[in-house]
Chain A
Amino acid sequence: MKRHLLSAADLTRDDAELVLTTAAELRSLADRPIKKLPALRGRTVVNLFFEDSTRTRISFEAAAKRLSADVINFAAKGSSLSKGESLKDTALTLEAMGADAVVIRHSASGAPHRLAHSGWVRSSVVNAGDGTHEHPTQALLDAFTLWRHLGESKPSGLEGRRVAIVGDVLHSRVARSNALLLQTLGVDVTLVGPPTLLPVGVESWGVDTSYDLDAVLPKVDAVMMLRVQRERMQGGFFPTPREYSRRYGLDGRRMATLQDHTIVMHPGPMVRGMEITADVADSDRSVIVEQVTNGVAVRMAVLYLLLGGSENPE
């Protein structure tokens, strides 16, 4: 593994499979009465969140604590985008505190990249979501969830499986990271959405694209619904929320066209009634809650592998 996890593209197939198998081992911890391992004792993990994201922050916090790392939560109110303290000065502060890993969430695409490559900090940097760029640990937990549900014994069993990622791909860091990681794992990915919400140049991503959700649904092993943010509804990307739901929302009627084994995923938070109806979100096919559980195991694996565990002489 590289020293940082900035993009799902940083992971080779071997890296990705190692994270998933490590996560599987760590996940078994969750069933034990004592959930803690001493692996990262004495190491410091900083959660640097320039954007509110309680669920991702808590997930990383739980992951680090179960590995016995010291955790500092740094909620930076206002990035340099809003003329608060600059990313650089925040980074220098963290460096002075002796962080071994910085988990960063930021509204600006590439902020984790800047943190890792500008010489401001020496620690490992984990991208916990940057702007409309990437969210690699979300992709890892999605791949992990797919692996567990599609009944394969090894992550390599995901080869040839089909996954649809549906909705606002243009603004989705989850979609970008999943498109990269799932392809690395040999999964056939189809991005589905209105043409206005598919990025320019998507045809060169190596994935299939479709504007027709109904045509795609019967063919896939999993369907991943993306959140449609409220501000997009005003942006003229589609005429009305109702029309969006009619064409790209997953409701009971559409769910009935899925194969029996097909699962429904969502990175959360959901907008019920917009991209997904309540009956689908709460159905037996939905693995949305389990994605959250798996998130902790996958983030434990990432931190463990990046920081080399407690044996590392460094």
Chain B
Amino acid sequence: MTSVTSPSFLLKNAAILGGEPTDIRIADGVIAQIGAGLTADGAEVIEADGLIALPGLVDLHTHLREPGREDAETVETGTRAAALGGFTAVHAMANTDPVADTAGVVEQVWRLGREAGYCDVFPIGAVTVGLKGERLAELGAMADSAARVRIFSDDGHCVSDPLLMRRALEYVKAFDGVIAQHAQDPRLTEGAQMNESELSGRLGLAGWPAVAEEAIIARDCLLTAHVGSRLHVCHVSTAGSVEIVRDAKRKGWNVTAEACPHHLLLTDELAATYNPIYKVNPPLRSAADVEALRAGLADGTIDIVATDHAPHPHEDKDCEWAAAAFGMLGLETALSIVQHAMVDTGLLDWEGVAERLSYAPARIGRVADHGRPIEVGAPANLALYDPAATRTIDAAESASLSRNTPYAGMELPGRIEATFLRGRPTVLDGKLYSLDGKVA
């Protein structure tokens, strides 16, 4: 199939959330009919035997790099990668150049997403002007803009000033916003290169101690409770952080948290290679932290998986560790890692996967038309996934402009076969389709 023009599709024998196979009719952008033995009636038939139907995935933490670093990624290339990963919506982080701290920039990013057409792009607004942590950006203007920003984050930087954080949490209550905190005490992590551990001491790489994350999370949970606002904790990476979030939830505070795929799988031992493909912020932690994150994700302490997809050009990784950029690709491998770390280990079923990669992130981002159960009448945002497939990750095959995947050469389970965005396939048979229905 090299082009698709049909306005309607019939997915035959798809297992919704891994349940009994059934047929799903997609027409006019919505899920029109669900049931066994549906007839084509002019719809394009897609054989989905053995495939799981999932709600379109929603990423709450994506770096699309545009504007400013179009050598690393653009909205178009990043959303292509997202579609191939089963995502129908991504939230674009604010640390672009210029920073997404005005209505103008967030509307630009939002518009670029719509023009590309592979995935809905919801811009995240900066909390402070220029991410400098000095004064609040015009959060209300971004919230009221066409981009309808609800998540605000200085990601890459921590809003470390406690008073500024308090004010931000208070201010976003006016439009049901949420502050997504990059929890990293800057003083405790000056020059930090990797997880602070016995290994960092031996390798001579400056340590990034767990307490630098945990102290900020604890403080922010207390602030959130105090002002009655909403906090989302980005990329939780330590066992101690999981404990703090668990405790905050037990107290009934409005705190949500995310874990990244790489923190669910990889450990700090990889730094011993000095290969900066494994350099990421927050850093890869210990095996005990990985276990705690998995347990936290399983019991709901960690609400969601978010990719922290962070493209970097080759030269920013093909160098000595200290000179390299922090970050790794994640969109095209996220679901496979979750299957490997959570589903194949029995920690999570597919219902749980849908909750953590689709329903919950959409709720946190206040996105109405994504993260909805696969039911008649819902927008046809969904993905077909083959959990029995295996693939060996080849960095060169990535749809991203960048190649900094830490999984190159690894064999991972699962493959996205199709992704539908409002009833239109962005991926079919594992191949990308552009807005005009042609193979991209």
Which residues of A does B touch, CB under 8 Å?
79-81, 86-88, 106-111, 113-114, 117-118, 130-134, 170, 173, 176, 199-202, 204-205
Contact = CB atoms under 8 A, between A and B. Distances in A.
Nearest to B319: A80
B202 A176 contact: yes
A131 B322 contact: yes
B320 to A, nearest CB: 4
A308 B201 CA distance: 33
B319 A201 contact: no
Interface in B181-223: 193, 196-207, 209
Interface string B320-333: 11110000000000
B205 A86 contact: no
Contacts of B41: none
B204 A201 contact: no
A134 B199 CA distance: 14
Contacts of A176: 202, 204
Contact of A173 (B204, B207, B321): B204
Contacts of B273: 113, 117
Given A114-B275, A118-B275, A118-B318, 4 more contacts: A108-B322, A132-B205, A200-B197, A202-B198
A176 B201 CA distance: 9
Interface of B: 193, 196-207, 209, 273-275, 315, 318-323
A218 to B, nearest CB: 28
A107 to B, nearest CB: 8
B201 A202 contact: yes
B212 to A, nearest CB: 13
Contact of A130 (B197, B204, B209, B323): B204
A86 B274 CA distance: 16
Contacts of A87: 319-320, 323
B204 A132 contact: yes
B277 to A, nearest CB: 11
Contact of A200 (B198, B318, B320, B322): B198
B198 A114 contact: no
Given A88-B318, A109-B204, A133-B204, A201 B323 contact: no
Contacts of A79: 320, 323
A8 B315 CA distance: 30
Nearest to B190: A235
B315 A110 contact: no
A80 B193 CA distance: 16
Contact of A111 (B193, B201, B275, B320): B320
A134 B275 CA distance: 17
B204 to A, nearest CB: 3
B202 to A, nearest CB: 7
Nearest to B206: A132
A114 B202 contact: no
Nearest to A173: B204
Contacts of B207: 200
Contacts of B206: 132
B274 to A, nearest CB: 3
A200 B200 contact: yes
A109 B321 contact: yes
What 3 A-B pairs come out closest when comparing CB atoms?
A: A201-B198, A133-B204, A110-B274
Contacts of B204: 109-110, 130-134, 173, 176
Given A88-B318, A108-B322, A131-B204, A204 B274 contact: no
Given A132-B204, A133-B203, A133-B204, A106 B198 contact: no
A81 B276 CA distance: 14
Contact of B202 (A80, A88, A108, A201): A201
Given A86-B315, A110-B274, A113-B274, A199 B320 contact: no
Given A109-B204, A132-B204, A133-B203, A114 B321 contact: yes
A117 B318 CA distance: 12
6 contacts: A81-B323, A113-B274, A130-B204, A132-B206, A133-B204, A173-B204
Contacts of B205: 109-110, 131-133
Given A176-B202, A201-B197, A108 B321 contact: yes
Contact of A110 (B196, B197, B199, B321): B321
Kindly name the residue among B198, B273, B319 whose own CB sees the greatest number of chain A CB atoms within 10 A: B319
Contacts of B200: 199-201
A202 B193 CA distance: 18
Given A81-B320, A86-B319, A134-B204, A114 B197 contact: no
A6 to B, nearest CB: 10
Given A80-B320, A81-B323, A131-B322, A110 B203 contact: yes
A204 B275 CA distance: 24
A109 B203 contact: yes
B322 A81 contact: yes
A83 to B, nearest CB: 9
Contacts of A132: 204-206
A225 to B, nearest CB: 20
Contacts of B322: 81, 107-110, 131
B201 A201 contact: yes
Contacts of A170: 201
A266 to B, nearest CB: 20
A80 B197 contact: no
B198 A204 contact: yes
A113 B321 CA distance: 10
Given A109-B204, A173-B204, A114 B320 contact: yes
A17 B204 CA distance: 26
B319 A88 contact: yes
Contacts of B201: 170, 199-202, 205
